[in-house]
Homo-oligomer: A and B are copies of this chain.
Amino acid sequence: MIYTVIDILGTIAFAISGVLVAMDKRLDVFGVFIIAFVTAVGGGTLRDVLVGSTPVGWMTQPNYIVIILITVIFSILFVGRLKYFRKSLFLFDTIGIGLYTMIGIQKGLDAGLLPIMCIALGTMTACFGGVIRDILCNEIPVIFRKEIYATVCILGGGIYFVMLQFPMNSVIAYVTAILCIIIMRLLAVIFKISLPNIYPKAK
């Protein structure tokens, strides 16, 4: 139940981030919807395709398409007001990546994959919707360029597998990992932590 609520809030936050990027590129209504849709479900779709879990998730669960459609309509109507919800959206987005990382990891475990592959799948679920969004909008994916985003998913996944080594209720480990991802991302944004720079000083 709580997972369902988080899932819906995460989907809405992801879809809105798609709407904003798409409207910035002045796409038409159909383009805005497609970008919102791939942002919200693209990561999970890529994961399902690579694992071979087909038909992919959203095809058998029509609620996603409906939630995203409603989100797109409201976002277009009230796009001017979206900035007042910036903090809420950031929070939903952050909670969303926590949950999606763990959903992806669970899918990997179900497929009998190694922990490192499960973490890769979790990170993909949480982050690659945004990658596909940026590719479709002709931009280099933002998560390859700035801000700690994927890294917290990887760390959170690592924490989960470390916890599983101890005698611990797996639900507790699951929820703790989600909370760790959320907290790490909040701290990274608040303290402006970024990945170490690997380039010589800008000219």
> Taking beta carbons and an 8 Å cutoff, which residues of A are in contact with B?
22-23, 25-32, 34-35, 45, 49-52, 54-56, 59-60, 62, 65, 76, 111, 113-114, 116-117, 120, 131, 135-141, 143-146, 150-151, 194-196, 198-199
- Residue pair B120, A65 in contact (C-beta under 8 Å): yes
Neighbouring B residues of A114 by C-beta, 8 Å? 62
Neighbouring B residues of A137 by C-beta, 8 Å? 140
Each complex incorporates copies of this chain amounting to 3
Question: How distant is the Cα of A143 from the Cα of B31 in the complex, in angstroms?
Answer: 7
Q: Which of B27, B62, B117, B195 contacts A59 (CB 8 A)?
A: B117
Neighbouring B residues of A30 by C-beta, 8 Å? 143-144, 150-151, 195
Q: Can you sample 12 A-B contacts with CB below 8 Å?
A: A23-B199, A25-B140, A28-B146, A30-B150, A30-B151, A30-B195, A31-B144, A34-B144, A49-B50, A50-B59, A62-B117, A137-B140
Which of A28, A59, A62, A76 has most B Cβ within 10 Å? A28
Question: How distant is the Cα of A131 from the Cα of B35 in the complex, in angstroms?
Answer: 12
Question: How distant is the Cα of A139 from the Cα of B52 in the complex, in angstroms?
Answer: 29
Distance in angstroms from A20 CB to nearest chain B CB is 13
Question: How distant is the Cα of A27 from the Cα of B140 in the complex, in angstroms?
Answer: 9
- Residue pair A198, B76 in contact (C-beta under 8 Å): yes
Which of A22, A49, A146 has most B Cβ within 10 Å? A49
- Residue pair B54, A51 in contact (C-beta under 8 Å): yes
Neighbouring B residues of A56 by C-beta, 8 Å? 50, 52
- Residue pair A139, B141 in contact (C-beta under 8 Å): no
Neighbouring B residues of A194 by C-beta, 8 Å? 28
User: A54-B52, A55-B113, A59-B50 given as contacts; is B138 within 8 A of A27 (CB)?
Assistant: no
Question: How distant is the Cα of A51 from the Cα of B196 in the complex, in angstroms?
Answer: 39
